[in-house]
């Protein structure tokens, strides 16, 4: 099945299942507020998915447990997992169906059912803080109704019918609906599959043939994994290249609810759930000392890192022994800290694709933390490419976003250079918006972007999309030093009435501080020539204070792709105004007569 076919299949499953589950949430009206529905529905989805996935081996597990008790065997985990055919199991005689046969005791029986799961599932349920909701539903006569709704055929969520990726997007679509009711800020958005598919292609890059020949053994990490769908999609892409690939995934997530969903997903896929860890990536790194082959992530941006400040600043002082040696960004936006975290965890041959908004391209003056972080990437020659995405691509935000591709091992052709790709006009409109998501990177659009990436040259590529519109990608390749500049501090001496410099008793010129200025000079430009051409003609006695010179780094993405649109000639504007006046006169005549 192609990526495009998978994407369509996911859309169908998301719409069908999410709409059904949202309808179940309507039964909570009156007891719960709309933004609280997720506290009930998401844990119920997780539990029902475990239930449906275990159903085929349910009796086998119960029989095995009975036999182990008869044999006096107390260490049961391995035997029970083998019987279940999963990394988890449930020893309760109850199922969702049989719970309905005893409405009077449904709360006690449901709690017993949950407590008979294996410890790893109980941890998932505990982290979702579900016990309180069970009590609330039972006290208000809702628990029976909700369980009954999850027993319908349409509510089946077993792994044999609903894929892991589908389930992840069902969760994300539900959380999107819930969060809209609560008006959560735009930074807490989800990453649609079309974006992830582009990121996975960029991570594979030029290596597909080599990976196919050599075989794949890889580790993948997501530092802000949400429900872990990026890890799943990257794993799927590598398995397409090598069906026998040995892949291990790792992820960290701050939010307990989404972490629990990610852990549940990993258990159902048979992965190592211990590699999914909960906590603050910036302030409490759960993977200290780890190195990964691939990193794929969409960390929050526009979010302050005040709560992590003490730990981050302490690690910054460690220098090269920590993750944040190059510098610290302003406290109001921690996305570049996530970038540094990823760079620190890349193997020498590792690659990272990370989503950022526009501020890491230019925010911060020369010598600032933001500028120094850009310089760190450029001076080490680790920044391979930046791809501008179309606006209105995410569910909860319409702002400009970019994929940064970082690699510690550039191909010979790419060494010393950075490729900028403007794909802001490479999309097709969705027939029906999903939140703020009004456009999509279809397979045609993705291939055009990858064609531009593979060309590694300046140029424009266009193609007619399936909907008849023209999609467009522009690529530019620049030397690393193109993004480097000097910021000079210019002083001007006092002048006497004859225009001569005034000196003190030691022969030093008096400085007129009111005339102090700065000048930014591109690194690839001859400094002396620049000053003679742009400064000296207007300030012939200027002095450069070398002690205050700073080196800065900026990636002027928008300026690079700016297209000047000439203004209309005044004569044309005058003719248009005359035509409008004539139309107005004719309308007034009709009205008056």
Q: For residue 117, what pLDDT is reported? A: 97
CB atoms within 10 A of CB 266: 24
From 100-104, 158-162, 186-190, 450-454, the region with the lowest mean pLDDT:
186-190
The SS3 of residue 348 is strand
pLDDT cut 70: percent of the chain above it: 95
Q: For residue 186, what pLDDT is reported? A: 33
Please state the rounded mean pLDDT for residues 491-509: 91
Q: Is the pLDDT of residue 32 over 50?
A: yes
Q: How confident is the model at residue 271 (pLDDT cuts 50, 70, 90)?
A: confident
Please state the rounded mean pLDDT for residues 311-317: 96
Pairwise CA distance, residues 319 & 308, whole Å: 18
Please state the rounded mean pLDDT for residues 41-67: 94
* pTM, rounded to two decimals: 0.87
Contact 289, 321 (CB under 8 A): no
Q: How confident is the model at residue 354 (pLDDT cuts 50, 70, 90)?
A: very high
Q: Is the pLDDT of residue 25 over 90?
A: no
Q: Is the pLDDT of residue 2 over 80?
A: no
| DSSP category for residue 321 | G
Residues with Cβ within 8 Å of 388's Cβ and at least 6 positions away in sequence, in order, are: 400, 401, 402, 420, 421, 422, 423, 424, 557, 561
For the stretch 251-265, what's the b/e string if a residue is b when 16 or more beta carbons lie within 10 angstroms of its beta carbon? bbbbbebbbbbbbbb
| DSSP category for residue 510 | P
Q: Is the pLDDT of residue 10 over 60?
A: no
Backbone angles phi, psi at 241, to 5 degrees: -75, -45
Q: Which tens digits make up the pLDDT trace of 212-266? A: 999 999 999 999 998 888 999 999 999 999 999 999 999 999 988 889 989 998 9
Place of tokens 């759960």: 286
Average pLDDT, the chain: 90
- Residue 405, class by beta-carbon neighbours within 10 Å (0-12 exposed, 13-18 middle, 19+ buried)? buried
Q: For residue 9, what pLDDT is reported? A: 53
Q: For residue 190, what pLDDT is reported? A: 65
Q: For residue 179, what pLDDT is reported? A: 62
Pairwise CA distance, residues 293 & 586, whole Å: 72
Q: Is the pLDDT of residue 586 over 90?
A: no
Q: For residue 592, what pLDDT is reported? A: 81
Q: For residue 187, what pLDDT is reported? A: 36
Q: Any bridge partners for residue 538, and if so which? A: none
Q: For residue 338, what pLDDT is reported? A: 98
Please state the rounded mean pLDDT for residues 277-299: 97
CB atoms within 10 A of CB 466: 11
Q: Which tens digits make up the pLDDT trace of 360-371? A: 999 999 999 999
Q: Which tens digits make up the pLDDT trace of 174-221? A: 776 776 655 444 334 468 889 999 999 999 998 999 999 999 999 999
Please state the rounded mean pLDDT for residues 383-394: 94
Q: Which tens digits make up the pLDDT trace of 538-560? A: 999 999 999 999 999 999 999 99
CB atoms within 10 A of CB 195: 24
Pairwise CA distance, residues 304 & 459, whole Å: 38
Q: For residue 590, what pLDDT is reported? A: 83
């Amino acid at each position: 099945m192609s990526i495009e076919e998978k994407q369509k299949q996911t859309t169908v499953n998301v719409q069908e299942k999410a709409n059904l589950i949202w309808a179940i949430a309507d039964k909570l009206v009156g007891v719960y507020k709309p933004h609280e529905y997720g506290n009930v529905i998401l844990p119920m989805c997780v539990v029902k998915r475990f239930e449906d996935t275990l159903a085929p081996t349910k009796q086998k597990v119960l029989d095995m447990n009975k036999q182990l008790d008869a044999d006096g065997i107390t260490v049961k985990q391995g035997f029970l997992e083998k019987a279940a055919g999963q990394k988890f199991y449930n020893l309760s005689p109850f199922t969702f169906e049989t719970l309905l046969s005893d409405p009077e005791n449904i709360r006690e029986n449901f709690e017993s059912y949950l407590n008979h799961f294996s410890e790893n599932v109980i941890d998932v349920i505990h982290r979702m803080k579900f016990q309180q909701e069970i009590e609330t539903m039972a006290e208000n006569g809702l628990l029976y109704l909700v369980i009954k709704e999850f027993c319908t055929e349409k509510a089946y969520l077993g792994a044999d019918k609903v894929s892991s990726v589908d389930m992840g997007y069902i969760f994300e679509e539900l959380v999107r609906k819930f969060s809209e009711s609560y008006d959560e800020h735009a930074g807490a958005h989800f990453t649609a599959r079309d974006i992830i598919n582009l990121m996975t292609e960029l991570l594979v890059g030029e290596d597909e043939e080599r990976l196919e020949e050599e075989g794949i053994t890889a580790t993948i990490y997501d530092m802000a994994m949400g429900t872990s769908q990026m890890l799943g999609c990257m794993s799927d892409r590598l398995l397409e290249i090598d069906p026998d690939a040995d892949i291990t995934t790792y992820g960290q997530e701050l939010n307990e609810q989404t972490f629990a969903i990610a852990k549940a997903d990993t258990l159902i896929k048979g992965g190592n759930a211990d590699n999914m860890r909960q906590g603050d990536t910036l302030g409490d790194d759960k993977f200290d000392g780890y190195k990964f082959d691939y990193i794929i992530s969409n960390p929050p941006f526009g979010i302050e890192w005040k709560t992590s400040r003490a730990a981050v600043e302490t690690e910054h002082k460690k220098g090269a022994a920590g993750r944040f040696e190059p510098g610290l960004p302003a406290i109001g936006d921690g996305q570049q800290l996530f970038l540094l975290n990823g760079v620190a965890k890349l193997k020498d041959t590792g690659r990272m694709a990370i989503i950022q908004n526009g501020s890491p391209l230019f925010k911060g003056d020369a010598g600032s933390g933001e500028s120094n972080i850009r310089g760190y990437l450029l001076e080490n020659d680790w920044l391979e490419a930046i791809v501008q995405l179309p606006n209105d691509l995410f569910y909860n935000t319409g702002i400009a976003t970019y994929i940064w591709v970082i690699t510690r091992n550039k191909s010979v052709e790419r060494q010393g250079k950075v490729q900028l790709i403007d794909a802001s006009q490479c999309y097709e409109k969705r027939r029906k918006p999903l939140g703020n998501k009004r456009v999509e990177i279809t397979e045609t659009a993705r291939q055009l972007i990858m064609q531009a990436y593979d060309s590694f040259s300046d140029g424009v590529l266009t193609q007619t999309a399936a909907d008849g519109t023209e999609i467009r990608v522009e690529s530019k390749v620049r030397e690393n030093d193109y993004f480097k500049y000097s910021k000079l501090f210019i002083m001007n001496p006092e002048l006497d009435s004859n225009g001569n410099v005034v000196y003190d008793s030691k022969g030093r010129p008096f400085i007129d501080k009111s005339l102090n200025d700065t000048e930014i000079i591109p690194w690839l430009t001859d400094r002396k020539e620049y000053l003679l051409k742009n400064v000296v003609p207007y300030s012939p006695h200027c002095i450069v204070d070398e002690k205050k010179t700073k080196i800065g780094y900026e990636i002027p993405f928008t300026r690079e792709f700016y297209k000047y649109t000439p203004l209309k000639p005044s004569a044309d504007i005058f003719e248009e105004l005359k035509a409008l006046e004539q139309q107005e006169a004719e309308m007034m005549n009709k009205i008056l007569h």
